[in-house]
Copies of this chain bind each other. A is one copy, B any other.
Amino acid sequence: MATSSAAALWYFESVNLYHILCPHKVKKMGDKHEFIRYKKDDFIYVPEDAASNIYLIVDGRIKIGHYLEDGKEVVSSILTTGEIFGELALAGEDTRRDFAQAMCEAVICPLTIGELQELMFENKDLSFKILKLIGLRLMKLERKLELLVFKDARTRVIEFLKDTAAWKGQRVGFETMIPTKLTHKDIASLTGTSRQTVTTILNELKEKNLINFDRKKILIRDIDNLK
C-alpha cells in the first residue's frame, strides 16, 4: 500500500545534529566541551524546570515521559546514543512539561539554547536542520496518534516492533534482531496498552513463530510478513 511503502522512508530519517554541533561547539567555545554524567534513575529535568537546554545523548538510555494527575507515569519515548531531547526549548517551551530520566549510567552533552541560537544565527543550515528535526518529531507523533486511536492493541504492538526494528534493529537475512532491555511494562507504556496484554500478544507471536524474544533481545523472523 502506498502509505507504508512510499512514505516509509521519511519516518526513519533522522537529523544527526551531533556531528554538526559538537565540532562547532568545540571550535567556537574552545575546549569547554561539557559532559554530564548521570546515574541510573537520575532526572535530567523534571516538569516545571526551566527549559534552558537541549541535550545530546553521548551514552546511555534516557526515558522521556510525564505524569498524569493521578501520578501514573506515561513514557513517550526511550532514547539512546546520538539522539537528542529537550528540543522543545528551542521552539519556545519555557518550562518543562515532561521529564527526562536516565535508565542507566548515562553521559549527556548539554547545550544552552542561548549557545544554540547563536550557532543558528551563523549557520543557516543548522537552522533548517533543527526545523527538520522538530518537523520529524511532529510527523512521528502524528503517526503514533493515529496508531493509538484507530488500531487495536495487537496492531499497535506489532507496529511498534516494526518501527523499533527499522530504527534500532540489525538485519541479518530475513531476520531482524533488536537488542533491547525494554520490559513488557515499557512496551505497554510506549504502545498505550496494559502490561498483561503485551505479554499475551508477544507470546502469541512467539507461538506462531513470527518472533522470538528473551530478556535481552527481540528477534523478528520476517519483518515484511509480521502481521
- Contacts A92-B135, A120-B127 known; 12 new A-B pairs at CB < 8 A: A6-B95, A10-B93, A68-B146, A72-B150, A74-B150, A91-B135, A91-B136, A91-B138, A91-B139, A93-B135, A138-B141, A141-B145
List chain B residues, Cβ under 8 A from A135: 88, 90-93, 134
What is the distance, in angstroms, from A55's C-beta to the closest C-beta of chain B?
Answer: 16
- Residue A175 lies at the interface, judged by CB distance under 8 Å to chain B: no
Given A134-B135, A135-B88, A138-B134, the answer on whether A145 and B146 have CB atoms closer than 8 Å is no
- Residue A174 lies at the interface, judged by CB distance under 8 Å to chain B: no
Contact A141 B141 (CB under 8 A): yes
What is the distance, in angstroms, from A123's C-beta to the closest C-beta of chain B?
Answer: 12
Q: Which residues of A from 125 to 152 have beta carbons under 8 Å from B?
A: 127-128, 130-132, 134-139, 141-142, 144-146, 148-150
What is the distance, in angstroms, from A72's C-beta to the closest C-beta of chain B?
Answer: 8
- Residue A52 lies at the interface, judged by CB distance under 8 Å to chain B: no
Within 8 Å by CB of A134, from B1, B72, B91, B95, lies B91
Q: Which residues of A from 74 to 102 have beta carbons under 8 Å from B?
A: 74, 76, 88, 90-95, 97
A-to-B contact residues, CB < 8 Å: 1-3, 6-7, 10, 13, 47-48, 66, 68-69, 72, 74, 76, 88, 90-95, 97, 117, 120-121, 124, 127-128, 130-132, 134-139, 141-142, 144-146, 148-150, 192
Closest to A67 in B: B3
What is the distance, in angstroms, from A117's C-beta to the closest C-beta of chain B?
Answer: 8
Contact A1 B69 (CB under 8 A): yes
Contact B88 A138 (CB under 8 A): yes
Cα(A56)–Cα(B90), bound, Å: 24
> Lowest 3 CB-CB distances: which A-B pairs, in order?
A91-B135, A92-B132, A149-B192
Contacts A/B (CB < 8 Å), 18 sampled: A1-B69, A2-B48, A6-B95, A7-B97, A10-B94, A91-B132, A91-B134, A91-B136, A91-B138, A93-B135, A97-B142, A131-B131, A131-B134, A137-B138, A138-B138, A141-B141, A141-B145, A144-B145
